[in-house]
Structure 1
Amino acid sequence: MTNLFIMNLAISDFIIMIVCVPDIIQFMENNGWQLGLTSCKIIRFSEVSALYASVMTLVSVCVERYVAIIHPIRAHLLCCRGRIILSITVIWPLAMIFASPNLIFHVLLPVAPGFKPCVVKLSRVNFLVFKYLEFTVFYLIPLLIQIALYIGIGRRLFRPEMFQSVEPVVRRDNLVVTMNARRGVVKMLIAGVSVYFISLSPHQVLLFYNTFSQTPFQETWTYLIFVNIMAYASSACNPLLYSIFSLKFREKFRTILFCRKESVREPSRTLTVFGQRNRNFNKSVKTDQTDL
């Protein structure tokens, strides 16, 4: 079921990276917005919608993983395919509704002769209300939810009782593989939250600075390039994180990239429980580090 969310996340990240190309080109030319008011509204609306959908998908993946690990029995009911598909179909309309102000308030604002950037035109009070609402709903709350749930997941994965229950039925080498696989899962989750937090933090820091500082922040070309790179890093880094931490992802990527036939993996080694070797009753456990 997690793959459905990961696919949705990939779609939203792909939209961001494609739609932002005209924005980046005009930003590098530094001649204002040259594509007209309609494209200004549509491109900014598409970027923000995909960003909101990406954030909500990240939170959904977090909740789904939490239920699957902390409440595995309930997961069969709560995380079924139908509910996951329903969640995805709700994410995009909600993202578009929250992003709809960009269709209304984005304008081409004359700043200098021949220079009209595509910006949001609101009064200072309304602009701050809009930005702080965006900060709360799509930055602070998702961040707190992910941190809290991933801490719970980490505690469960590294709880000593879990390894004590595994150790009697799994040989020492398999126990080490299991521990390393679980550590890899936690590292990937921590890396995902960290990238999400760090990449969007410059915009939030600037928002607080301009709200409470007596002197407005003087934006430089270097700073603007840095902020834009960080904003797009969140979408660009997700595939890299899965490639680094997921063996299955790497295998599938190689299969698709090089047009290989998918190899059939050998079945996992069957281990006898508690050393029982009775041919009439041979209870076994299969362990596979890529399935953890």
Structure 2
Amino acid sequence: MEKASLSLMTNTTSSNIDPKVKQTNASSCLPDSSRGGPETVIVPVLFGLIFLLGMVGNTLVLVVLGRLRPGRRPSRSATNIFILNLSIADFSFLIFCVPFQATIYSLPEWVFGAFFCKWVHYLAMATMLVSIFTLVAMSVDRYIAVVHAKRSLCIRSKRNATMGVAVIWVLSLLFAIPVAQHQALVSGHFQAPNSSFCWEQWAGNSVAKQIYKVTILVVGYLLPLMLITCCYAKVLYHLHKKVKNISRTSVRSKRKTAQTVLLVVAVFLISWLPHHIITMWAEFGHFPLNNISFTFRIISHCLAYGNSCINPIIYAFLSENFRKACRQVFSCKLLLPPAPAQKLVRIRMENFSTTHSTTNV
């Protein structure tokens, strides 16, 4: 969100802002904790539900993909590698964001110390970027698999997928470094001398802060949105214009593919838009501090966290093969008779592989 902003403190302050404004902004993060407002209960409960849903969904994906083959060996297709990485990133993002953010709304100060103030925000930003970059990689993977099917086997190798995941993590950790550098524990405020707050401290360098926030907007939202949209648009064009199979089944499959693509793009667009609106508004304008803006902040949190809950549904549970594999895995865990080895599902997780041209990738 910038993660420091969205994910945790919703921090719109900078070090050169008047302390009174800083305290107001802190109050906007913890608006009524001292007065025991309803949000001190409602918001943590709401975040708790999102957290539980995201943990369950991503854990199921990790368990199923890790126990697909006889002998409990994980399936290592290129697409599965990306989906495993997406689930790990979303799982980590929820852990580093939701519990800490819930305490922000229910407690009057930051109670986790200087180390967590710095590194929780850093890891939250990094895992957010890993999740987004992985979604981009998966869209490129689908584009290659469908549009360049003949060359896809050599391009979409396990080795290349693993290297892609490594590059994603390195870039994300590098982009998040300024968060670790400029997030600090501040205490001794004249209105709350005995309280500590986790704030961004840019040492008066507002230009550098603005450049960083715009960079995150471009790298973490606008560019990924453009790439995801372009890749899936190419996939749809190929399926509807190039594939000659016009059977009724093919028509239904293409329609389902189009619906799934629109869902993917819409979810990404809506999930992250409010956060970036708040970030840019606070940085380049005057973000109001009132009940409406406070509600908008909560909505931005819920949508961003919800993205990590919806990803497992879109990229895993909408796949019929994944659902079969899920039933297979948990039937074994419940000590039910396992399916014959020759009939074990080899899940491919190729999103949108609903026509003959894509299932043979």
Do these two structures clear the TM 0.5 threshold for a shared fold by scoring above it? yes
| Offset at residue 212 of structure 1 (A) | 4.8
Query: Paired residue for 2:227?
Result: 145
Equivalent residue for 1:31, pick from 108, 119, 122: 108
Q: Which range is displaced more, 257-266 or 236-245?
A: 257-266
Query: Paired residue for 2:201?
Result: 121
The structure with higher relative contact order (CA 8 Å, sep 6+) is 2
Do residues 177 (structure 1) and 257 (structure 2) align? Answer: no
- Deviations along 1:142-196, one digit per CA (max 9) or x if unpaired, are 111111111111111112x523xx35xxxxxxx3223323333332232122211
Equivalent residue for 1:18, pick from 81, 95, 107: 95
Between the aligned partners of 1:182 and 1:15, the Cα distance in structure 2 is 34
Instruction: Classify 1:24/1:106 alpha carbon distance in 2 versus 1 (closer, same or farther; 3 Å).
Output: same
Query: Paired residue for 2:348?
Result: none
Give the number of equivalent residue pairs: 262
Q: Check whether the contact 1:188–1:242 (CA below 8 A) recurs between aligned residues.
A: no
Between the aligned partners of 1:140 and 1:255, the Cα distance in structure 2 is 39
Between the aligned partners of 2:139 and 2:271, the Cα distance in structure 1 is 18
Query: Paired residue for 1:58?
Result: 135
| Offset at residue 243 of structure 1 (A) | 5.1
- Deviations along 1:89-114, one digit per CA (max 9) or x if unpaired, are 12111111111111111012346414
| Offset at residue 21 of structure 1 (A) | 3.8
Between the aligned partners of 2:330 and 2:290, the Cα distance in structure 1 is 42
- Deviations along 1:63-85, one digit per CA (max 9) or x if unpaired, are 11101111111212211111111
Q: Check whether the contact 1:106–1:120 (CA below 8 A) recurs between aligned residues.
A: yes
Query: Paired residue for 1:208?
Result: 280
TM-score (norm 2): 0.66
Query: Paired residue for 1:74?
Result: 151
Query: Paired residue for 1:226?
Result: 299
TM-score (norm 1): 0.80
SS in 1 for 2:196: coil
Instruction: Classify 1:195/1:116 alpha carbon distance in 2 versus 1 (closer, same or farther; 3 Å).
Output: farther
**Greater Rg, structure 1 or structure 2?**
1
- Deviations along 1:102-137, one digit per CA (max 9) or x if unpaired, are 111101234641443323222332221110011011
Equivalent residue for 1:47, pick from 114, 119, 124: 124
Do residues 107 (structure 1) and 184 (structure 2) align? Answer: yes
- Deviations along 1:253-288, one digit per CA (max 9) or x if unpaired, are 233344353466599xxxxxxxxxxxxxxxxxxx87
Q: Check whether the contact 1:5–1:60 (CA below 8 A) recurs between aligned residues.
A: yes
Q: Check whether the contact 2:217–2:276 (CA below 8 A) recurs between aligned residues.
A: yes
Q: Check whether the contact 2:129–2:172 (CA below 8 A) recurs between aligned residues.
A: yes
| Offset at residue 43 of structure 1 (A) | 1.0
Q: Check whether the contact 1:209–1:217 (CA below 8 A) recurs between aligned residues.
A: no
| Offset at residue 14 of structure 1 (A) | 0.7
What is the aligned-residue RMSD (CA, Å)? 2.6
Q: Check whether the contact 2:83–2:315 (CA below 8 A) recurs between aligned residues.
A: no
| Offset at residue 209 of structure 1 (A) | 2.7
Contiguous gaps of at least 5 residues in structure 2: 1-77, 346-354
Percent sequence identity is 26
| Offset at residue 242 of structure 1 (A) | 3.4
Query: Paired residue for 1:190?
Result: 262
